[in-house]
Structure 1
Amino acid sequence: MSPAPAGGWTTGRVVTLDRIGDRLVRLRLDVADRVDHLPGQHYVLRLRAPDGYTAQRSYSVASEPADPLLELMVECLPGGEVSGHLHDVAEAGDVFELRGPIGGWFTWAGEVEAVCVVGGSGVVPVISMLRHARTHGLLDRLRVVAVGRTLAELPYADELLAAGAFVALTRENLGDRVAAPPYVEEVVPLVARAERAYVCGSVGFASFATRLLGEAGVRADVIRVEQFGASG
């Protein structure tokens, strides 16, 4: 398997910026000298103040490699210097320092059948995977379990449902499904034939999802985990 692509520091100009509810902001950027990424990779975005002070944060890529723009979906975290600026201050036309793509462990380009269990903003790298799968006719090789509190709070909820993802909401019913985390019996049919599993979400969610996959019959050595916390 060839190494994952990697890029150095460059700049990205915000082409569009959409604030979604009170916690999410979607940015689409035109990246200078962009290196094509693999679905699942991420970028570091760095802010620089006039006095030279910098703050940076890593964000997973939502766009597929074929997209001419780089798409990031950022959740505004309490006290988050970077996410707060992006959500409250940034606007189209702004230019940010970027480094990426980064990472080779949490990537999928269709080489194996896979299952993903993702929660909250942890859905973002899997959106890149789903978009890549749709473009290349590989949707039958990728199955997704997405967990959110409510449909309005789950990033890309409509796109996930349209792609056939199993969506479990914990604070409101969805159709005939009563609000609850996913049950083992709901996941078992989705892990059949999966050669690899991906888990992305908060530390607590990652622990739950890893345990859920194990109870559904997935071997621990094929589970790849990416987790995050409020402090990054």
Structure 2
Amino acid sequence: MRVVTLVTQKGGTGKSTLATSLAVAAGQAGETVVAFDLDPQGTLAAWGNSRQAETPAVVTVPAERTGELGAVLRGVAGRFSLAILDTAGADNPITRAAMELGTLALVPLRPTRPDGLAIKPTVEALIRGGRSFGFVLNQCTPNARSSRAAEMAAGLASLGLLAEPMIHARADYQDAFAAGQGVTEYAPKGQAAAEIRELWAWVNRQAKETGK
């Protein structure tokens, strides 16, 4: 079972929204998916509770079970091909465990200076642990390719892998989340859905390569 961890020590970067839509897109592509909510705020769990479809499975791991995360993942490995871990926007024991256990870590950030500064502790921890990771430039404005986001993309690419494509700020992401859906279900022919399918294809390739 491959494990994709969404992690950055800052709130508001869109980890939960990406986690839900990636989980759905991966399932549509043939993966059997379990999504873990490791954040005390419970955003992903709330999405799971509002969802009508039975997949992906959504599991909450409370803080007191931090030391059991590895055992929990091993316990479901025979039933699922992919686990997606949604972590809190803070440095805590369960976030560190999620980074250590991941096949691939995704580090979402918006194209702003505060987000660029905030990723430093996360990236340092991933490098110290020898973990594979990629940056996801999220919530970009429509003219991102000729703006600040393009400059940040160039800088991130020099630090490590930059996931493709940039994810833009589109209403479909928030509307899908509110409906308990992934964006590829909510508006399958929309631009947001196309972005998430492309992002899943990138994640799938990287996770397969890392898992060899």
Which TM-score band applies after superposition, normalised by the shorter structure?
0.3 to 0.5
Q: Which has the larger radius of gyration?
A: 1
Relative to the length of structure 1, the TM-score reads 0.31
Relative to the length of structure 2, the TM-score reads 0.34
**Which structure shows the bigger proportion of residues in strand conformation?**
1
**Which structure shows the bigger proportion of residues in helix conformation?**
2
